């Protein structure tokens, strides 16, 4: 079996290097190799690029960087199609101007790749990254359950805790077949929540062996994005794993867009299939 590859696109900016600490740890966890690719309209001098890369730490001194020219998103997608990476790790944006959600390149890659994509806030810089808490928002539907197996595997391999967040509120129930019914008394968790949690853990165990994975369920009520963000901050979340149904145009994906705009931790986006939805 070929060793998995983690693809890390760079653009020569220091902001883009924020993806490196995350990619390095994920490569160690998954026993994968790093493939660093610099893509720009014109090829920069190699010494300049390598000097920027050394800012990420001495462990990157011997890492080679492929330098390509062309339209960044298109080149990233072409490379991903060729090498089929285990995951792509890149910054939300590397512009000096603040952005609400994603830059143009990251948005295009997100919309067009089927590969798991880890999006990193550029303002985290080169601070070393550790994976102790993995958080998965879950609305009880089979569609969002697609995030559970990858998140559980990452948590198991890293020895991290898996936090599953279920937020109830107006408009959060789903008619998708196979969905778990939201506990009726959300203001009184002792009524219904234990049974819901037990059913959830049973479903999770049927999808992937839990092994020594520690799973903790968190229940909240209110605005989904705001509650997920609040709990992620309270629980010192290191990585959020979010299932996305693959449609980006407004008004779709409002929770994911809010999380990408506000979360301080990297977010792994897993593209799933929305029952009854038309593709982009």
Residue 12 zone, left/alpha/beta (φ > 0; ψ -120 to 50; rest): left
**Measured distance CA(35)–CA(2) in Å, rounded:** 14
Asked if residues 38 and 10 have their Cβ atoms less than 8 Å apart, the reply is yes
Indicate if 147 and 261 belong to the same structural domain: yes
Residues 172 and 77 in one domain: no
Q: How many domains does the chain have?
A: 2
| pLDDT tens profile 198-239 | 766 676 666 655 667 888 888 888 899 999 999 999 999 999
- Find residue 166's DSSP bridge partners: 219
Residue 201 belongs to a domain: yes
Q: Are residues 111 and 58 in the same domain?
A: yes
Q: Identify whether 251 is preceded by a cis peptide bond (ω within 30 of 0).
A: yes
Q: State whether 219 and 250 are in the same domain.
A: yes
DSSP class per residue in 3-51: PPEEEEEE-S-TGGGGHHHHHHHHHHHHT-EEEEEEEESSPPPHHHHHH
- Please list the alpha-helical segments (H only) found in 84-221: 104-112, 148-158, 193-207
Both 30 and 63 in one domain: the answer is yes
Residue-averaged pLDDT of the chain: 82
The per-residue pLDDT for range 18-39, each reduced to its tens digit, is 999 999 999 999 999 999 999 8
The secondary structure of 203-218 as a DSSP string is HHHHHS--TT-EEEEE
Domain boundary residue, one of 88, 122, 156: 122
In terms of domains, do 180 and 264 share one?
yes
Residues 154 and 110 in one domain: no
Domain boundary among 122, 141, 172: 122
How far CA 194 is from CA of 99, 162, 227, in Å, comes to 40, 17, 20
Q: At 64, which CATH number? A: 3.40.50.620
Q: Mind listing the pLDDT tens digit for each residue in 48-64?
A: 666 777 666 776 766 77
pLDDT tens for each residue of 89-132: 999 998 666 666 799 999 999 999 999 999 999 999 899 999 99
Say if 49 falls within a structural domain: yes
Domain range enclosing 186? 133-271
Let me know whether 180 and 109 are in one domain: no
Q: Are residues 182 and 226 in the same domain?
A: yes
């Amino acid at each position: 079996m070929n060793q998995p590859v983690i693809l890390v696109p760079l653009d020569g900016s220091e902001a883009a290097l924020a993806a490196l600490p995350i990619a390095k740890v994920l490569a160690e966890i998954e026993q994968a190799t790093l493939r660093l690719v610099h893509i720009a309209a014109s090829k920069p001098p190699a010494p300049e690029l390598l000097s920027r890369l050394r800012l990420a730490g001495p462990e990157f001194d011997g890492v080679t960087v492929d330098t390509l020219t062309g339209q960044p998103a298109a080149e990233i997608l072409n490379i991903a199609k060729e090498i089929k990476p285990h995951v792509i790790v890149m910054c939300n944006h590397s512009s000096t101007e603040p952005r609400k959600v994603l830059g143009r390149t990251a948005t295009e890659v997100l919309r067009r790749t089927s590969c798991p994509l880890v999006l990193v806030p550029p303002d985290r810089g080169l601070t070393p990254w550790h994976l102790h808490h993995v958080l998965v928002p879950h609305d009880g539907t089979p569609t969002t359950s697609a995030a559970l197996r990858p998140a559980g595997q990452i948590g198991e391999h890293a020895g991290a805790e898996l936090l599953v967040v279920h937020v109830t509120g107006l408009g959060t129930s789903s008619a998708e077949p196979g969905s778990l019914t939201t506990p009726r008394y959300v203001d009184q968790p002792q009524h219904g929540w234990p049974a819901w949690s037990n059913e959830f853990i049973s479903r999770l165990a049927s999808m992937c062996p839990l092994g020594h994975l520690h799973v903790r369920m968190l229940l909240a009520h209110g605005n989904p994005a705001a509650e997920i963000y609040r709990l992620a901050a309270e629980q010192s979340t290191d990585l959020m794993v979010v299932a996305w149904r693959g449609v980006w145009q407004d008004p779709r994906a409002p929770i994911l867009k809010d999380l990408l705009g506000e979360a301080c931790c990297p977010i792994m986006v897993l593209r799933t299939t929305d029952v009854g939805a038309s593709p982009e």
